Homo-oligomer: A and B are copies of this chain.
């Protein structure tokens, strides 16, 4: 059936009607008072979402552009950086840092496992000369459904005293609490097509005062992504380069929805969706790829053994118009991923789990009890709702 598509991938995520319609408005001049009003509201909303009074800058980029801006504004060629790498987006951090001639000291974990904060602590403790300028990590690793222990890692960074903490929060912001001010997170990158409940095209970078100090010393070349230019104009509710006006309309609408729900409501909803999804997958006798203790509230990866991951994924799409994500790189064909971040509610999880059950049945998978997934998810919903 045309236009019946249901996105359960980790971005783009489903977009509410009011956000879609906001985007369809005629553009206005980006140097107008009207647009400055939009930006003023949006900038306040972004501070609220990031739990900070510091700067949260909006850039016309996708998430990778926000990641790159998070590196090149605060570091200089040859700077040593600890880079957490336990998935595709950890690898991307490594690639960005290497492209700019940084000395990358990797902290590695197997794909599907979280980074070990103790490894970071040891490397930082051994760095008596304070050569490490930044610790760079992915918060929610989209490729595996693992969430890294940002709070613990950040504590070690703070104990080091010199290094900045630079975080890819692309699939965590708006799904799980990222208390920028309380934890003292220096640079946090995110993108619009995830927890923000809007289409791709905007990237965000939150910058601490410590990071602005580092900015003054950083010598990597930059112009379009020079956050100092954005900061100057940010204070006047404008931008150095033409902003994507219609995406700002969308952001304004989506922030209004998020604020109406409240931070606690947004985070507890994602926690509930994650728990229900994982309970259902377990009840269907399918192996979860990430351990419970490191489960991302944004996305759940499933590594089926008695049926092909791509078989499941393509049949769920064909029969029920639900788009699940596949595995990336060496996980291609080995896992499928259920996105449950952004504009997703309990009903969507029930529908997806029911569709998954129906698909397993159609594929002749025998080692599960039909109905068990929906029952397990429902159990989570009723216990957490009560």
Contact = CB atoms under 8 A, between A and B. Distances in A.
Contacts of A21: 24
A25 interface: yes
A384 to B, nearest CB: 28
Given A99-B222, A193-B27, A32 B323 contact: yes
Contact of A27 (B15, B27, B240, B241): B15
Given A200-B244, A201-B60, A101 B28 contact: no
A188 to B, nearest CB: 17
A200 B27 contact: yes
Interface in A1-35: 3, 5, 7, 9, 11-12, 14-15, 20-21, 23-30, 32
B245 A199 contact: yes
Query: How extensive is the interface on chain A, given as a class?
Result: 35 or more
Given A24-B21, A221-B100, A223-B95, A241 B29 contact: no
A65 B241 contact: yes
Given A242-B11, A245-B12, A200 B65 contact: no
Nearest to A6: B26
B26 A23 contact: no
A183 interface: no
Contacts of A310: none
Given A60-B60, A201-B247, A26 B11 contact: no
Contacts of A95: 223
A253 to B, nearest CB: 12
Contact of A61 (B27, B61, B101): B61
A340 to B, nearest CB: 15
| Nearest 6 CB-CB pairings of A with B | A201-B244, A24-B24, A12-B27, A99-B223, A199-B246, A64-B241
Given A12-B27, A27-B193, A63-B242, 12 more contacts: A5-B26, A7-B28, A12-B242, A12-B245, A23-B246, A60-B61, A62-B244, A64-B224, A65-B241, A68-B223, A191-B242, A193-B242
